A = this chain, B = another copy of it.
């Protein structure tokens, strides 16, 4: 059984997994392709929605448990003192969203309707998992390419993890946004959105409902954020027409990245509000002070000791240069 341990100085959590991640034979059959459904654990959900034909072809988007989960939903939640240290049981969800039945590398290759189904799957799974009060936050992310930590390269998918503690990186964003709100009575992300639309030089792409920017303090070359124009704390609370707009913008944005950086490895992070059902008092002001968004982080180089050890990043491409290059291609 996995267990979470807390670093006593920094509050950083580490999952000690009970099984190493699977090593898939590069020449074996792809477990995410239609027809190979028996190579994954039993299906959790599929789109188009159906109660029949589970684990058989006929799906456009399919959600399955991770075959080697970091956390397990059946583990009872226990918070334990281990002498001077703190541990939490490895209780959580670890799911895979297979975003197309065809063997495609990237969301950028998929039609808008297919991406819309993938986003519907993200929203539905987040909504469902937030009903479980053991989960403090649900984190959706994507590892594309080996440098980004991908385990199953070559077939586009995302991962959804439900966590019994709020992840440190999300907590920093939540706390930073709250501090900004408390000082100014304005949402930090709404301020960034307005500043970027005014300045223009870091805007990569706009749609009716979203703005994609190269953020002011981009960690890596060509980092992009997608900010919804409408202030809202939770991705899963967005209406279907907002998701449809994103389903057009997201593959276009990734397509720009793939034109500027051939076959780029990148991570995608979806930062949505933490689970208020788990801690209502702690997040009582969240509707005002947090603004869901997506971050896309290209991984061109290995993080150095300077970056990992100091928390600084060193970048050689300014977001103004990155935005200009990304705007120039389609």
Residue of B nearest to A198 (CB): B83
Chain B neighbourhood of A195, CB < 8 A: 83-85
Copies in the complex: 2
Residue of B nearest to A146 (CB): B302
Chain B neighbourhood of A283, CB < 8 A: none
Q: Does A275 contact B (CB under 8 A)?
A: no
Is the interface on chain A under 10, 10 to 19, 20 to 34, or 35 or more residues? Answer: 35 or more
Chain B neighbourhood of A308, CB < 8 A: 169, 267, 269, 297
Q: Which of B20, B141, B149, B316 contacts A302 (CB 8 A)?
A: B149
Do B147 and A188 touch across chains, with their CB atoms under 8 A apart?
A: no
Chain B neighbourhood of A269, CB < 8 A: 305, 308-309
- Tell me, in angstroms, the Cα distance from A268 to B309 when the chains sit together: 8
Q: Which of B12, B167, B189 contacts A217 (CB 8 A)?
A: B12
Chain B neighbourhood of A215, CB < 8 A: 7
**Which of A10-56 touch B at CB < 8 Å?**
10-17, 19-21
Given contacts A5-B216, A143-B304, contact A84 B192 (CB under 8 A): yes
Q: Does A100 contact B (CB under 8 A)?
A: no
Q: Which of B85, B177, B302 contacts A299 (CB 8 A)?
A: B302
Chain B neighbourhood of A13, CB < 8 A: 217, 311-313
Do A8 and B180 touch across chains, with their CB atoms under 8 A apart?
A: yes
Q: Which of B167, B168, B199, B315 contacts A14 (CB 8 A)?
A: B315
Q: Does A159 contact B (CB under 8 A)?
A: yes
Q: Does A301 contact B (CB under 8 A)?
A: yes
Most chain B CB inside 10 Å of its own CB: which residue of A83, A159, A215, A311:
A311
Residue of B nearest to A299 (CB): B302
Residue of B nearest to A171 (CB): B311
Given contacts A147-B302, A149-B302, A149-B305, contact A176 B11 (CB under 8 A): yes
Do B310 and A148 touch across chains, with their CB atoms under 8 A apart?
A: no
Would you mind naming 20 contact pairs between A and B with Cβ atoms under 8 Å apart?
A8-B217, A9-B189, A12-B217, A13-B313, A14-B313, A15-B314, A19-B316, A83-B195, A85-B195, A143-B305, A149-B305, A163-B312, A167-B312, A168-B311, A169-B310, A170-B310, A170-B311, A269-B305, A297-B309, A299-B302
A-B CB proximity, top 10 nearest? A149-B304, A168-B311, A169-B311, A167-B310, A267-B305, A269-B309, A141-B305, A9-B176, A7-B217, A5-B217
